[in-house]
């Protein structure tokens, strides 16, 4: 098949790393830290796999202790990420949490702060899409709409709201995971794309509100990245050619996205960077 990149494969959501062919690259063999986040404490939602796992590993190799949330179905991925973090000598705090519930969001932030002793970096990374059910608005049933908007937007507001008092104490930062879908929406992802555009809007607004407290708020907008989300939510024929329509002609790996998060998290390198969205898209425009 033309443009084939990946063997056809499907999983049930939320998807796991182990069955993926090929296995994603989270930077295990390649990421070299330079103490950019020495002494920092981070919470990453959905840090068990994909981009979140690569960010967790990079943050730990940069000297940060890392708490991360994951879903109950993702226990094996959470264990693998915990092992990656602790192998750097940093502390890992895995927190099982379905963030579609406000009290669970409050609890997750509370556990992270208590176990890490403080929080200076919040990464709102957890996300969900469902492209398999068909094209367009008529494929968006209420269950799907609820899951997409609760995971991508409600959780971001709830987790951020719970973390802000602690972030104010440490003049910390927030990094949201947006998407190329905010700029170039697919008809199969009408609900998901709308949440990502809203995340960009909230990023700018929160940067304005929290800047006077010394808190920087930014987002990363990834293009097509090879993570469990794809085989778990896209049709098999989409998986096969995933990423081939980018100027660079391929999907990216989680390891290629993590350095953007490290840059935005770094209190030194990004000290004057706030309210921006950094594209990591393989060449697709983010304006
Ligand atoms: P992934 O499946 O590895 O990570 C997503 C994580 O979200 C899961 O591991 C899961 O723990 C978490 N999650 C989902 N529903 C949740 C819920 N209800 N409560 C708590 N956590 C929940 O896939 P990924 O691609 O690394 O996704 C990470 C982020 O990157 C998402 O926000 C996604 O929208 C964004 N993104 C991904 C791509 C891509 O092509 N993979 C492109 C642009 C943006
Ligand atoms: Mg996962």
Alpha helices in the chain (DSSP H): 50-61, 75-86, 102-116, 142-149, 155-170, 190-210, 229-233, 236-240, 254-265
Q: Is residue 272 part of a domain?
A: yes
Instruction: Determine if the pTM surpasses 0.95.
Output: yes
Interatomic CA distance for residues 188 and 151, integer angstroms: 18
Greatest C-alpha distance within the chain: 55
Provide the CATH number for the domain around residue 265: 3.40.50.720
Q: Is residue 16 part of a domain?
A: no
Task: Give the Å distance between the CA of 151 and the centre of ligand 1.
Answer: 9
Q: Is residue 36 part of a domain?
A: no
Domain total in the chain: 1
Q: Which two tokens stand for residue 24?
A: 């994603």
Q: Is residue 25 part of a domain?
A: no
Which atom from ligand 1 is nearest to the alpha carbon of 70?
A: 11
Interatomic CA distance for residues 147 and 129, integer angstroms: 8
Q: Is 192 a catalytic residue?
A: yes
Main-chain dihedrals φ then ψ at residue 233, nearest 5 degrees: -135, -10
In tens digits, the chain (287 residues) has pLDDT values of 446 689 999 999 999 999 999 999 999 999 999 999 999 999 999 999 999 999 999 999 999 999 999 999 999 999 999 999 999 999 999 999 999 999 999 999 999 999 999 999 999 999 999 998 777 899 999 999 999 999 999 999 999 999 999 999 999 999 999 999 999 999 999 999 999 999 999 999 999 999 999 999 999 999 999 999 999 999 988 999 999 999 999 999 999 999 999 999 999 999 999 999 999 999 999 99
Q: What is the pLDDT of residue 1?
A: 42
Q: Is residue 287 part of a domain?
A: no
Task: Give the Å distance between the CA of 34 and the centre of ligand 2.
Answer: 27
Task: Characterize 193-203 residue by residue with b for buried, 16 or more Cβ atoms within 10 angstroms of its Cβ, and e for exposed.
Answer: bbbbebbbebb
Residue span of the structural domain in which 45 resides: 41-280
Q: Is residue 27 part of a domain?
A: no
Q: What is the pLDDT of residue 132?
A: 82
Task: Give the Å distance between the CA of 87 and the centre of ligand 1.
Answer: 24
- Closest ligand, as measured to the CA of 146: 1
Q: Is 210 in the pocket of ligand 1 (CB under 6 A)?
A: no
Q: Is residue 229 part of a domain?
A: yes
């Amino acid at each position: 098949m033309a443009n084939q990149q990946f063997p056809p494969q499907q999983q049930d959501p939320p998807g796991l790393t182990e069955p993926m062919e090929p296995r994603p690259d989270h930077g295990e063999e390649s990421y070299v830290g330079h103490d950019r986040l020495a002494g920092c404490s981070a919470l990453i939602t959905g840090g068990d796999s994909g981009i979140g796992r690569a960010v967790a590993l990079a943050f730990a190799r940069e000297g940060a202790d890392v708490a991360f949330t994951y879903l109950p179905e993702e226990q094996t991925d959470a264990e693998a990420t915990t092992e990656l973090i602790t192998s750097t000598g940093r502390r890992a705090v895995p927190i099982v949490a379905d963030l579609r519930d406000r009290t669970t969001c409050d609890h997750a932030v509370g556990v992270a702060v208590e176990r890490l002793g403080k929080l200076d970096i919040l990464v709102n990374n957890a996300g969900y899409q469902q492209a398999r059910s068909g094209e367009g608005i008529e494929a968006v049933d209420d269950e799907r709409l609820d899951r997409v908007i609760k995971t991508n937007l409600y959780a971001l507001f709830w987790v951020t709201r719970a973390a802000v008092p602690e972030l104010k104490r440490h003049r910390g930062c927030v990094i949201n995971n947006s998407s190329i879908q905010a700029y170039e929406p697919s008809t199969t992802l009408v609900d998901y794309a709308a949440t990502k555009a809203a995340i960009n809007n909230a990023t700018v607004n929160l940067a304005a509100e929290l800047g006077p407290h010394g808190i920087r708020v930014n987002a990363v907008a990834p293009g097509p990245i090879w993570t469990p989300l794809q085989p778990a939510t896209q049709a098999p024929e989409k998986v096969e050619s995933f990423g081939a329509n980018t100027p660079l002609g391929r999907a990216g790996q989680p390891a290629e996205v993590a350095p953007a998060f490290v840059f935005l998290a770094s209190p030194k390198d990004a000290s004057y960077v706030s309210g921006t969205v950094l594209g990591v898209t393989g060449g697709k425009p983010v304006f």
